[in-house]
Amino acid sequence: MATFLYRLGRGAFRRSGRVVLIWLGVLVAVLVGAAGASGPSDEEFSMPGIESQKAFDLMEERFPGTAADGATAQVVFVAPDGQKVTAGDTRKAVEDAVGSLGGGPQVADVEDPFASEAVSEDGATAYATVTYKVEPSEVTDASRTAVDKAADQARAAGLTVETGGSAMDSGGGPGGTAEIVGLAAAAVVLLFTFGSLAAAGLPLLTAVVGVAVSLFGIVLLAGPLGLSADTLTLGMMLGLAVGIDYALFVVSRYREERGRGLAPQEAAGVAVGTAGSAVVFAGVTVVIALAGLTVVGIPTLTKMGLAAAGAVTVAVLVALTVVPALLGFWPNAVLSRRVRKAGTAIPRDRDRDRGAGGRGNLGARWARFVLRRPVAVLVLGVVGLGALAVPMTSLRLGMPGDEAKSPATTERRAYDALAEGFGPGFNGPLTIVVDARDAADPRAAVRTISDRISDTDGIVSVSQAGFNEVDDTAVFRATPSTSPTDEKTKDLVETIRHDRPAVEEQASATFEVTGTTALNIDIAAKVQSALVPYLVVVGGLAVVLLLVIFRSVLVPVKAALGFVLSVLAALGVLVLVFQEGHAADLFGVEQTGPIMSLMPIFMMGIVFGLAMDYEVFLVSRVREAYTRGETAGQAVVSGFQHSARVVTAAALIMVAVFSGFIGEDGSLIKMLGFSLAAAVLFDAFVVRMAIVPAVLALLGDRAWWLPTWLGRLLPRVDVEGEGLGHARSDSPGPYPDGSVEARV
């Protein structure tokens, strides 16, 4: 692989104009396509096979055209203190507003709160439900504006009016602030790392190109594939982070090879052949982990995973082609001032001595510090991450809704007003679907089931049942006394399902529990049961991949265990902040509650690739030094001499980019940004920078042990550039002195 990438890097450098034109053509093509696309959709979460989904499918079958109605908007009216919405001018103001709602574009129906009894017991609160002829993603701005005008009309009469519902969500996606914050932080880190504006700007430029291609591609495919707005933001977040990091690795190696005296084109080839190999490996691991999310069985999660995998693939291709192409335009601009002034190679023996025996840079000094006290560093790192992981044992998964939004939003205020006026469970009623085909008297059977559920502790009210045309299936709502995300609501659903056999036997009919609340509970249970298996699969995949790369048994096991430790610690910190509320204000968490169901498993897939990225970049340099004949300890120092600063910069960039998305409104993106920033922080600086050298120091030569029989079975994948001595055009070895080191 290194030989192929070496030639690719040389070719891109030599034909830089052609490469840039090709990518510009791709960018223009997806931009034009995206301009005429329908954009992201508002697809609901679904999971084939769970009870709530089966019940929803039954509703679609028995109630054609009603189970999946169009978008809805809720307009909540609250009377001034001491007044009621049912009296005098206040009632007239509500009726006028409802009349205005009925005249809005795309409206199919408006429920009058006074006719539908949508008024609270104290008469202070009422709500009108607007049903549209189209799905949420097709609701126009004109339709939303009509709702806002009707609300303003009632506000002018002295009422408090808030709006919510699927129709009022205008979508989401990248808003710009998080991206700007991430880019600014990355620029500072790159400038500090390279000390050159050109070297710092090149990774930023190429990352923006890759992200632009990815985002326009996602927009282009959003309509046909049903991609959500969160997919756009996720593609932006991940594409920006890995795009900068991958370009950083290639540019850093190019500068190193130029410092050793290689010609520009040759240095570009070696950089892509070595650092580019690590980039390919890291990108492949992320893609595999994200694509592996298809096994969970959630269509939305599958689509987000595949879209994010596409963004990572684009970032890899950009790093391997656009980066060397731009270096071809300005081969000396990214070099340090010292190298540009010197114009000659730095003696290689001096460069080696700095890492092995001299004082060296900060990375080498840190490695020596760890080598002197490996047990203390190892114990401190493992115990520290283990302590942070403890809260993960109380992880609760769910699907936060409008209650998790800022109180400054009208959706959150509408949620609170309905909860106050009609009870906490009003925002998440359970939908009961009764199949009475086999009952002698279907209506009597439905009444029996309705009465039994109404008598269940935790149910405050049950609506009148609605029957289909043939009178064999009915649907009614049961309102819990607790909010949709409350653990007591989950227990209530489990109680109803546990008592179901006796109820069905008495009624001679069957029923199932669905609705948004039940669906979210079922999805959370399914995802939580998949967390450990997925973690085992991903960890096992890490062992296999690193076994092939490093041809070592113990190094891959150590890497996989470190990945698991950093993921668990990140989940523990996530629980502390978002679920238990510690330092919630610091991170802008408006409402604590369960962790978004899809977040942990998605985070595992992303962190897996990033963790293996740092592992390969660090340990490959250690192994490279070891195979040149250095002792195990000297090899660790040499490896950190060449790679610690770059990995540190890459990790800081990742943390900065991910942290910028904590300020986003969407719960999934906010939690994902926080957890990814924490996971990268733990994995890069505790696991890879501390635990890895400590373990390598304790293992010594045994770290690179591989049974002979296994060595014959494993394929040889050249990630460290061992084969470049045969591919290079200017010398038999990969260094200016023409030497070829012995490698195992």
Are the C-beta atoms of 551 and 706 separated by less than 8 Å? yes
DSSP summary character for residue 734: S
Q: Are strands 510-514 and 430-435 parallel, antiparallel or unpaired?
A: antiparallel
The whole-chain average pLDDT of the chain stands at: 83
637, two tokens: 């120092």
Are the C-beta atoms of 674 and 391 separated by less than 8 Å? no
429-514, what's its fold? Alpha-Beta Plaits (3.30.70)
Residues 6+ apart with CB under 8 A from 458: 480, 481, 482, 488, 489, 491, 492, 495
Burial class (CB in 10 A: 0-12, 13-18, 19+), 95: middle
Question: Can you give the pLDDT at residue 446?
Answer: 93
CB neighbour burial string for 621-639, b if at least 16 within 10 angstroms, e if fewer: bbbbbbbeebebbbbbbbb
Stronger pLDDT, 549 or 151, i.e. the higher one = 151
Q: Which residue has the tokens 């195992």?
A: 744
Percent of residues in the chain assigned helix, strand, coil, to nearest 5:
65, 10, 25
pLDDT tens-place string over residues 588-624: 777 778 888 878 888 887 888 778 778 888 888 888 8
- Cα–Cα dist 431/34, whole Å: 39
Dihedrals phi, psi of 401, to nearest 5 degrees:
-115, -135
- Cα–Cα dist 330/333, whole Å: 5
Q: Which residue has the tokens 């030639």?
A: 7
Cα 135 → chain centroid: 26
pLDDT tens-place string over residues 539-574: 787 788 888 888 888 988 888 889 889 999 999 999
CA distances from 653 to 213, 287, 672 (A): 21, 20, 16
- Cα–Cα dist 521/494, whole Å: 10
pLDDT tens-place string over residues 497-523: 999 999 999 999 999 999 888 988 888
Query: Is 1-42+173-346 CATH 3.30.43.10?
Result: no
67-168, what's its fold? Alpha-Beta Plaits (3.30.70)
Question: Can you give the pLDDT at residue 739?
Answer: 36
> By C-alpha distance, which of 114, 107, 144, 146 is closest to 128?
114
- Other C-beta atoms closer than 10 Å to the C-beta of 529 total 10
- Other C-beta atoms closer than 10 Å to the C-beta of 420 total 15
CA distances from 670 to 26, 400, 523, 596, 667 (A): 31, 12, 20, 10, 5
Statement: residue 742 has pLDDT above 60: no
- Cα–Cα dist 101/516, whole Å: 25
Q: What is the CA radius of gyration of the chain?
A: 30
Question: Can you give the pLDDT at residue 345?
Answer: 43
Let me know if the fold of 361-405+531-706 is the same as that of 429-514: no
CATH of domain 361-405+531-706: 1.20.1640.10
Domain limits of the chain? 1-42+173-346, 67-168, 361-405+531-706, 429-514
